[in-house]
Amino acid sequence: DDWSWDDLISACQTIQEANENVDCISIGGSSGWDWWAYFIPWIVGYGGKPVSDDFKTSTFSSPESLAGIQAYVDLWTQYDVMMPLGADIPGGGQGCFESQNCATFFHIPGFMKTFREQITDFDWDVAVTPSHPIAHATGMGTFGYGITKDSAHPDLAWELIKVLASKEIQGQILRGYGGMPFLKSMADDPIFDELEPPPANVKAFIRGGGVGIFPPMGYPSKCGSLYAGLINQTIRTALEESIRGAKTVEQA
């Protein structure tokens, strides 16, 4: 767990020198490279933040935020360890990793099941995301169980949610390699010792939660969010212009 992005970049360069057609990190291609869970941790990791606490002012232009964005862009422009933007790889980043055209894949625990089923010709494992110079941060989400206010059967819906959130069902999800249990009480559950690899280092997903950050969700609705609307499109355009070299990070 004690490794940095500099360590990964160095390892990537070694891999790519020995394997001409490999892009080390499977972020790039036609989509996904602008996902908040990839680039916001770089902002936080360099001491910045994406927006003011009251969500009235973007802080992307602070020195710390710009340094983090620049470091993320450098993975393409300086170190060349990412999938090129626009690369037409069947299956995107996932397919690139499964076909061994990419050496690493950054994503959620739910891919364990797919990789166990699809990957038969090489060994793979998981690790905690590398640390940045100032803070160790990685994007994180949760199970989104809830009941709509318009539900015709709220009592039955509540009973379903209680079942889904039970230790039994959360254990079944883990045994099926569909995700990590969200119950903190299960962090050291013996069930982890029952799991057959791969991955052998499955508890890296638990430890990664200790440095996980959530997306800022308080933007005014008319502005959109990190997932859609004006904010999303503005960020995507700025990142693409920077990665392709059309503008500097500061200009974009």
In a domain, 178, yes or no: no
Residue 213 forms part of a structural domain: yes
Q: Provide the 3-class DSSP secondary structure of residue 104.
A: strand
Q: Is residue 28 part of a domain?
A: yes
The pLDDT of residue 142 is: 77
β partners of residue 213: 139
The range of the structural domain enclosing residue 41 comes to 5-142+198-243
Does residue 220 belong to any structural domain of this protein? yes
| Successive 10-residue mean pLDDT values, the chain, 252 residues | 96 97 95 96 98 96 98 99 94 96 96 97 98 97 87 97 96 97 95 97 96 95 95 97 98 96
pLDDT at residue 144, as a whole number:
76
Q: Which residues contact 211 (CB under 8 A, 6 or more apart)?
A: 128, 129, 131, 136, 137, 138
- Predicted structure pTM score: 0.94
Please report, for the domain that includes residue 115, its CATH number: 3.40.190.10
Domain count, the chain: 1
Q: Choose among 49, 12, 44, 19: nearest CA to 212.
A: 44
What's the pLDDT score for residue 194? Answer: 96
